[in-house]
Structure formats: structure tokens, C-alpha cells
Amino acid sequence: MNLQAMQECDFYPPPYYERIREMGMLAHRLRLWDFDWMADEDRSNWQFPDFSRPTLPGLFPFAQDYSGDPYCWLQGRLSRFGEPDILLCDHEDGFAWLYAPSLAGAIFRTATTFAAAAREDSVAPMVEMIEQVIEVYGELLPDDWVQRLSHLTKREPRIFRGATVTKVALHAPWDSDEVIKQLFGSPYAEKNTQWANIGAEQGVVGSGLAAARETKDQHRQADPPQP
């Protein structure tokens, strides 16, 4: 769905997204680990799969993870950052993580989560990716978030010894979770938002755009203009 189609539904992407577009990020498909921007043309043509049509109206996808699950803005639900909440919609069970309260938060969370994804070789790829995030997005992120990411690249690796395999990471998954709870709030560490009724054949909407239009029409019917 393009920007004009979004605006037809009274939805406007946050200014942060517009700055990213102006910087050419979407056209160059700059990848973050588990977070791939949708280019304008891809977003315009994107549809929710038939097996996971949304029942939660007002979802606007703008990125995908490695398995194709969409990151979506949720229309009408503003966070304390003044931006639409972002959901990561799991197509397998119909529930979504409340992923971030802002687009900058989604980028930060992706980076700090990657830093906890233990590897068998070394933490060098983690350091490289986080340094790239700082270089490319640093001017758009809050200073304290940049400092947190920079600190991660300089710390000694955490070692996780299993029965047969030893892995390393920059910090532990529970460390990443605590950071998210501290900066965003506890609800952002939970996966309890139902966005689709997986397997349902009735009462569902074919795309986030259609759902948003349906919601907008319902509001118009409920609140007719006053003479």
C-alpha cells in the first residue's frame, strides 16, 4: 500500500519513516537482522496471506522478518512516544508481539535482540551489524540508545556452554528483555495481541488496508457530520 492509499484511511506514517525514505533506505533495501524494509513498490502490492487474514483492523505493514511475518503499524493506538504502536504479527498462531512504541524503537530492539542471538563462531558479525546501525541510524536514535548499543560492541562476549556446543553473544536474551522492559514498558515484552484468527473462513478482512477502510467507514456511520 502506497502513501496515498494510507492517507485515504486517515493514516500517516511517522515523520521518522519519512526521513528514512528521504535518506534512500527503502530503495536500497538496507537489511537489519530479522528486519527487512519493504520498498515502496513492495508495500503497495503486499497482501496478507489467505491463511492469516487479519481480524484486527488498521494494520499497515512496512517491514518483514526472515520468515515473512510483517511488522505493522497499528492505526489508532498511539504510544507514549506519539507514534503508532508496532506489532510483529506471527502468521503461525495469529498472535503478535507488541514490538515497539516507535520506529526508532523497532530498530533499536532489532539490534539489541541480535546482540543476544548466540553464535558458535564469534561475536564479530554482531559487532559489525550494530556498528552499522549506529552509523546509518545513529542521528535518528535517542542519544542514550546509541550509547547502549555502542557499549554492547565493546563488552566482553558472554559464553554459553551447552552439553555439546559452546556459543557466544554480546549479552543474554534475558538482558535484552530487561532493556526492552526498562525503555518501552513491560507490555512490549509480551506476545498477547491477537491480530488474526488463523484458519477462520468467515468474518475476516483480506488486507490491512481494507480493514482500515472498513473501520473508517464504520466511524463515519457512527458519527455522522453535524449540520
Q: What average pLDDT values come out for the chain (227 residues) when binned by 10 residues? A: 60 82 68 78 67 73 88 89 92 90 94 91 91 89 96 93 90 94 93 76 38 39 36
Question: How far is it, in rounded angstroms, from Cα 29 to Cα 214?
Answer: 31
What is the per-residue pLDDT for 58? Answer: 83
Q: What is the dihedral of CA 210, 216, 219, 224, to 10 degrees?
A: -120
What is the per-residue pLDDT for 206? Answer: 36
pTM above 0.85, yes or no: no
Q: Which of 76, 105, 78, 39 is nearest to 88 (CA)?
A: 105
Specify the amino acid at residue 190.
E
> What crossing angle do the helices spanning 103-114 and 173-184 adopt, rounded to 10°?
160
**SS3 label, residue 78:** strand
Distance of alpha carbon 202 from its chain centroid, rounded?
28
Name, in order, each residue with C-beta under 8 angstroms of 181's C-beta and a sequence gap of 6 or more.
188, 189
What is the per-residue pLDDT for 53? Answer: 64
Question: How far is it, in rounded angstroms, from Cα 214 to Cα 113?
Answer: 35
> What crossing angle do the helices spanning 103-114 and 143-154 adopt, rounded to 10°?
10
**SS3 label, residue 1:** coil
Q: Which of 133, 154, 157, 156 is nearest to 145 (CA)?
A: 133
